[in-house]
Amino acid sequence: MKVEPLTEDRFTEFVRLIRALAEYESLPAPDSAALDRLRGDAFAPRPRFEAALAVDDTGQAVGYAIWFETYSSFLARPTMYLEDLFVLERARGSGAGRLLFDHVRALGDERGCGRMDWQVLDWNTSARQFYDRRGARWLQDWLTYRIDY
């Protein structure tokens, strides 16, 4: 198992994994316009996000991570924000999730980030346990709010 950066020639595999995450979370998959934006944002001169694939020994992508940086005014340092971390069910327990998580965490450290943040659905016990094992803590006093455009 290894981590590889997302490349244009692996974009179709990336989309397959995003659709698998949507199915897992019972959410609608991105439509064709969203996929066009995703491709454009991933490979723009100034990409809006970064992504990597977990690739098994057969060369098959079995997981992915998407991340970007935000900024903390109180720390006066960037924050690594992990938007998605997903591994296909058949590859869970293979180390793919750990490799992706450690990859993003190490990038944050290399880039001088003060912390790494992400969100987990409350019903996703296995993900919560995965993060607990890595020393993460649940910020119970923070509530997520959203405005959709």
In a domain, 144, yes or no: no
Residues 6 or more apart in contact with residue 105 via CB below 8 angstroms: 80, 116, 134
In a domain, 116, yes or no: yes
In a domain, 96, yes or no: yes
Quick: pLDDT tens for 93-138. Answer: 999 999 999 999 999 999 999 999 999 988 989 899 989 999 898 8
- Distance from C-alpha of 67 to C-alpha of 118, rounded to nearest angstrom: 9
- Distance from C-alpha of 89 to C-alpha of 98, rounded to nearest angstrom: 14
| Predicted TM-score (pTM) of this structure | 0.91
Catalytically active residues, by annotation:
131
Quick: pLDDT tens for 15-61. Answer: 999 999 999 999 999 999 999 999 999 999 999 999 999 999 999 99
Domain that holds residue 72: 2-133
Q: Are 78 and 71 in contact (CB under 8 A)?
A: yes
| CATH code of the domain covering residue 33 | 3.40.630.30
One-letter amino acid for residue 112 of the chain:
G
In a domain, 107, yes or no: yes
Q: Please give the structure tokens belonging to residue 32.
A: 């064709």
The tally of domains found in the chain comes to: 1
In a domain, 35, yes or no: yes
In a domain, 139, yes or no: no
Q: Please give the structure tokens belonging to residue 59.
A: 């060369």
- Distance from C-alpha of 129 to C-alpha of 134, rounded to nearest angstrom: 9
In a domain, 110, yes or no: yes
